[in-house]
Amino acid sequence: MTLINSKTQLYTRQGLWSLFLMCAFPFHFWTLLLAFRDLSWLIDRSNLWDAISVASYGMIFAFAESLLVFLIAIILGFLVSKYWDSRYRIALISSLILITALWAIASQLFALLSISLPIWLIIFFVQQSHPLRALYVVSLLLVASTVLIPTYLILKSDKALQVILGFIDRITLLAAFYLLFDVIGLIIVIIRNV
Amino acid sequence: MKNQLNRRDFLKLASLMPLSFATPRFLKKLGNSQALQNGRKNVIVVVFDAFSAYNISLYGYKRETTPNLAKIAKRAIVYHNHFAGSNFTTSGTASLLTGTLPWTHRALLPNGMVAKPFVTRNFFHAFQNYYRVAYTHNSWAYTLLKQFHDQMDQLVPREKLLLGSYNGLIETLFKNDEDIASVSWARTIKIQDGGYAYSLFLSNLYKVLEEGKVANLKPMFPRGLPTSQTDIGFLLEDAVDWLGNLVTDIPQPFFGYFHFLPPHFPYNTSLEFYNRFDGDGYKPLSKPVDIFATHMINADALKYRREYDEFILYVDKEFGRFFNALEASGLLENSWVVLTSDHGEMFERGLIGHMDTLYQPVIRVPLFIFEPGRKDGIDIHTPTSAIDLLPTLTHMTGQTMPDWAEGVILPPFLDANPDPNRNVYAVSADKNDPKAALTQASTTLIKGRYKLLYYFGYPDFGVNELVKLYDIESDPDELVDLYNSKQEIVAELLSELKSKLDEVNKPYL
């Protein structure tokens, strides 16, 4: 295991590409999912072409958001010790982005599927002297643990690192397809605006 | 030679400075009055979106929704049976602006556009020797106004009266596709009621930014700010103040079309009228469920109706304020002021909103005409149509009356008595290809006391053809379908309506 390597450059070109695709994946996935969900009312509102166009703009906006998060991720990468192999940097930042995106998706799913907290949990919070503060503390612990545990595993276990890198490989392949959708979306947006 | 200004000369000149500020304004006013002396009065058309005559107390609604209108209507020509050309913004607004019915202007689809010839067949073209200005909150109406842009002197950007929204950037970037770009932007960045948006991170940031911008206004609108749902919100107060200033500043004579969104959904009234009708005991008539019914829970219909009625109070107050401002400025003496709507709204028969059907609440809209200098009111009960406004206003202002307009000059401006058996139509074909003959549409023919509803091409609803007949004089709530008991009248009106359909379909066959 080569955790420390003083000669390692911060990012490799391949690493940056993988990181960008990891950023693009959750935003494009979620946009496409909701765009499909919106198709019926948009067709009802106007027509299929408009519905596809709304999704096209959505893909462009998702690309812009991916780019922004990618830039933030690169900056975050500088906080990771430069003595660590760039693979660790990519694995750590990618998992951080993915986990926070998953939490964002989970919070939206709660709203979409009208899920509420179990009654026993609500009672637990209500019984506290500061229910809202207790809710925030529990949420923070939950989110922090889902970030810290994978981080620890990546740093301590070569096997965990390989699993994460393998996962990134698979996801980036899928995310590359999303970029193809971006191109199609861009063409549609251009057609509509000329 | 001493040619320098001395202190005394300088002070003399300085004393003339206020005059130099006042002169352009004075000359403009002089120019205005000269124009007005030529008999050309201004025309101000104010449209409130989805404003149903059914819910207006002045027209007999049980809740007192329009106390201000009731006061000023004493000086107006009030049309009690006025019908929109359609049941939604695009087709209804296009009918009003072009003086033709949807099957002619072909702005059939939501956010659609009129057929090419009508780009130069509309109010703005008819008033080409006037200063022409237009504004709308409504993005679909804005699509039409953009089509007529070349016929105007000033199309005020929609963004102008929307509260600090960032939509301007999107509308500027994608100005040729503003509606769909704005919808997508809204779906991406604006967290919907349920708490979701396409964007996972930026939507939360955007929400914080937006809420900061309107935080101080929120207490004034307990249900949320009035909005077109793709913007952060707007205030009708701002619109009225802006309009009051605009009409005193622009060159005269002018033709102005101002289309404001309230009382269109969401019915976010101001704190002043919030819950005004809560628990008032009002119970609307129970009506048969329609084939297009989507909202079967009566409590929902009651709640939405109450909120809509409270939103009308807000509209009523603001129009009253605008009217008073016009009067104070003296413009009322020199201007035709028209208050109307593009379509209505309904909360009955399992329907909430304004699509598919053509029952009275959806197509019967207010029409008030304030004639320059008129001191007493007139009530007109003859059925009239939105398409009549264009011929009437061109006629009354001495413009050339366009030969393509399908309407007639409204009473009491016509020398002859109005034809009580005139055919008044309304059409909705929001799924029909505008370049094809009508194969799926909701149509109605109003003639005298009878109203025939004819729906065709809705196989999804289990009917290919549906015909209903109502006597709207004795049964204004359309409770009793006379289809079986008045077969002769049904046959006569249906034959007329079908002949008309054959005629309008001919160019597309």
Cβ contact, residue pair B198, A58, below 8 Å:
yes
- State how many domains chain B has: 2
- Whether residue B395 sits in one domain with residue B342: yes
- State how many domains chain A has: 1
Residue A94 lies in a domain: yes
* Closest-CA residue to B341 (of B371, B317, B321, B362): B362
Chain A residues with CB-CB distance to B180 below 8 A? 50, 53-54, 57, 192
CA of B110 vs chain A CAs: smallest distance (Å): 5
Task: Quote the CA–CA distance of B246 and B290 in Å, as a whole number.
Answer: 44
Residue A8 lies in a domain: no
Residue B233 lies in a domain: yes
Q: C-alpha distances in angstroms, A66 versus A96, B375, B418? A: 14, 64, 65
- Please compute Rg for chain B using Cα positions: 24
CB count within 10 Å of CB B224 equals 13
Q: Report the DSSP beta bridge partners of residue B353.
A: B346
Neighbouring residues of B79: CB distance < 8 A, sequence distance ≥ 6: B366, B367, B368, B369, B380, B384, B410
Chain A CB within 8 Å of residue B189 CB: yes
- Whether residue B484 sits in one domain with residue B397: yes
Cβ contact, residue pair A46, B188, below 8 Å:
no
Residue B17 lies in a domain: no
Of B216, B237, B256, which residue sits at a domain end?
B216
Residue B175 lies in a domain: yes
CA of A46 vs chain B CAs: smallest distance (Å): 5
Residue A79 lies in a domain: yes
For residues B418 and B411, the answer to whether their CB atoms sit within 8 Å is yes
Q: Which of B174, B196, B204 sits opposite A193 (nearest CB)?
A: B174
Instruction: Going residue by residue through chain B, which has 509 residues, state the pLDDT in tens, using 9 for 90 and above.
Output: 444 555 555 455 454 444 444 444 433 443 443 444 356 899 999 999 999 999 999 999 999 999 999 999 999 999 999 999 999 999 999 999 999 999 999 999 998 999 999 999 999 999 999 999 999 999 899 999 999 999 999 988 887 888 866 667 887 888 888 878 888 888 898 876 567 899 999 988 888 887 788 889 989 999 999 998 777 789 999 999 999 999 999 999 999 999 999 999 999 999 999 999 999 999 999 999 999 888 777 788 999 999 999 999 999 999 999 999 999 999 999 999 999 999 999 999 999 999 889 999 999 999 999 999 899 999 999 999 999 999 999 999 999 999 999 999 999 998 778 888 899 999 999 999 999 999 999 999 999 999 999 999 998 888 789 999 999 999 999 999 999 999 999 999 999 999 999 999 999 99
- Whether residue B338 sits in one domain with residue B190: no
A84 phi/psi in degrees, rounded to 5: -85, 145
Cβ contact, residue pair A35, B198, below 8 Å:
yes
- Whether residue B418 sits in one domain with residue B303: yes
The widest CA-to-CA distance across chain B, in whole angstroms, is: 105
Residue A28 lies in a domain: yes
CATH code: domain of residue B308: 3.40.720.10
Output the six-digit token pair for B117: 């010839």
Q: C-alpha distances in angstroms, A51 versus A46, A63, A188, B110? A: 8, 19, 12, 13
Cβ contact, residue pair B187, A114, below 8 Å:
no
- Whether residue B475 sits in one domain with residue B460: yes
Nearest chain A residue to B200 by CA: give it. Answer: A104
Chain A CB within 8 Å of residue B235 CB: no
Residue A3 lies in a domain: no
Q: Are β-strands B254-260 and B131-136 bridged in parallel, bridged antiparallel, or unpaired?
A: parallel
3-state class (DSSP) for residue B48? strand
- Whether residue B63 sits in one domain with residue B134: yes
Q: What is the DSSP letter of B176?
A: G
Residue B461 lies in a domain: yes
Torsion angle in degrees (nearest 10) through CA of A73, A79, A84, A85: 20
Residue for token digits 């100005």? B175
- Whether residue B196 sits in one domain with residue B332: no
- Whether residue B114 sits in one domain with residue B89: yes
- Whether residue B352 sits in one domain with residue B212: no
- Whether residue B272 sits in one domain with residue B386: yes
Cβ contact, residue pair B198, A61, below 8 Å:
yes
Q: Which of B196, B199, B204 sits opposite A112 (nearest CB)?
A: B196
- Whether residue B490 sits in one domain with residue B422: yes
Domain that holds residue B190: 164-216
Nearest chain A residue to B112 by CA: give it. Answer: A46
Residue B2 lies in a domain: no
Q: Walk across the sheet containing B450-458 and list its strands.
A: B423-428, B441-447, B450-458, B463-471
Residue A5 lies in a domain: no
For residues B180 and B196, the answer to whether their CB atoms sit within 8 Å is no
Residue for token digits 């899920």? A115
Residue B22 lies in a domain: no
- Whether residue B183 sits in one domain with residue B141: no
Residue B188 lies in a domain: yes
Domain that holds residue A55: 13-193
Residue A55 lies in a domain: yes
CA of A84 vs chain B CAs: smallest distance (Å): 29
CB count within 10 Å of CB B74 equals 10
